[in-house]
Amino acid sequence: MKNFLHKLYKFSNSWTGTVIIVLFIIFFVIQSFVIPSGSMKRTLLIGDFLFAKKFVYGIPTPALPWIQKKILPDFNNNGHLIEGDRPKREDIVIFLFPGDHKTHYVKRCVAVGGDELVYQDKHLYIHFHEGDEFIKKNYPANKIVKFRDKLWVDNPYKDKYPGIQYKPDHHKNIFSILVERYVYDSAGIDVSPIYIRELGGQVYNIEGEKVNALYKKVEKDHFYMIGDNRDNSNDSRFWGSVPYSLIIGKPWFIYFSWDNENKKVRWDRVGTFVDDIQHRKPRDY
């Protein structure tokens, strides 16, 4: 045993050993990512450098970093060398963008297969596939509304995670953008226009039909990903649910955070766990 450990130590100190160990860690254990956009603003910030746990949802089929070139076949036809747990509602998840299967995105999972969503300006209503009794048991009455003969929860995660917000930066809210895009390019959105009398709100006219909300039912073994900065996020509302095959992992902790606008390190975020920071009241930077 002692001889084996000595050989392992010598191997790990060689260039070959170092490369193999580093690749093993990147392929199967943890990987570094940087937050490039403001879609999770107030929860995760532009310039946050974080490590992600890659084994939380199974082991993704190994791929070379940066170019996402698979080094092994997809034996299980689900994007994972070893199948694991699926993302849960409320999880912040790292996944590959369905549009190119190469770019890493990070969003919050708001719904899973079988769940139904109705999106209206400043409101995300979800009917969980477990049904009305599950909703009444797990959510307070003041969060529950009834329409279409079933119960829905209004913004079910907003009270729990202070970083979730509806606040357009420099444009109209995304609800208006989605409705208008449906008229001119319906292929560019993943929600369908509907009219729900009980919800009220602004009413649009699309081809002679009244519209005041947008609807989606999540496909089996798919996950609906929406940014916490909900009026400024390119997410599943545009390009659809994320299949399990594209799920990579879960953010773990922030090891560095750079505020490029003010040219300084955000020291209060360095070394913080994402599961902890998402429950804190966000700071203005």
Which one is catalytic: 39, 233, 241, 245? 39
The neighbour count for residue 50, using CB atoms within 10 Å, is 24
Q: Any idea what the Cα angle at residue 235 is, between residues 232 and 239, rounded to 5°?
A: 135
Whether residue 107 lies in the annotated active site: yes
Whether residue 39 lies in the annotated active site: yes
Name the one residue in this structure whose structure tokens are 């902890």.
276
Which one is catalytic: 41, 107, 158, 216? 107
Write the CA distances from 196 to 46, 96, 144, 187, integer angstroms.
37, 34, 16, 23
Name the one residue in this structure whose structure tokens are 């490590």.
51
Q: Any idea what the Cα angle at residue 62 is, between residues 97 and 238, rounded to 5°?
A: 5
Write the CA distances from 253 to 28, 51, 192, 250, integer angstroms.
17, 6, 37, 10
Residue 8 burial by CB count (10 A; 0-12/13-18/19+): exposed, middle or buried?
A: exposed
Q: Taking Cα atoms as reference points, which of 222, 214, 211, 205 lies closest to residue 79?
A: 222
Alpha-carbon span 107 to 247, nearest angstrom: 11
Are 42 and 233 a contacting pair, CB within 8 Å?
Answer: no
Beta bridge partners of 152: 145
SS3 (DSSP) at 182: helix
Catalytic site residues? 39, 107
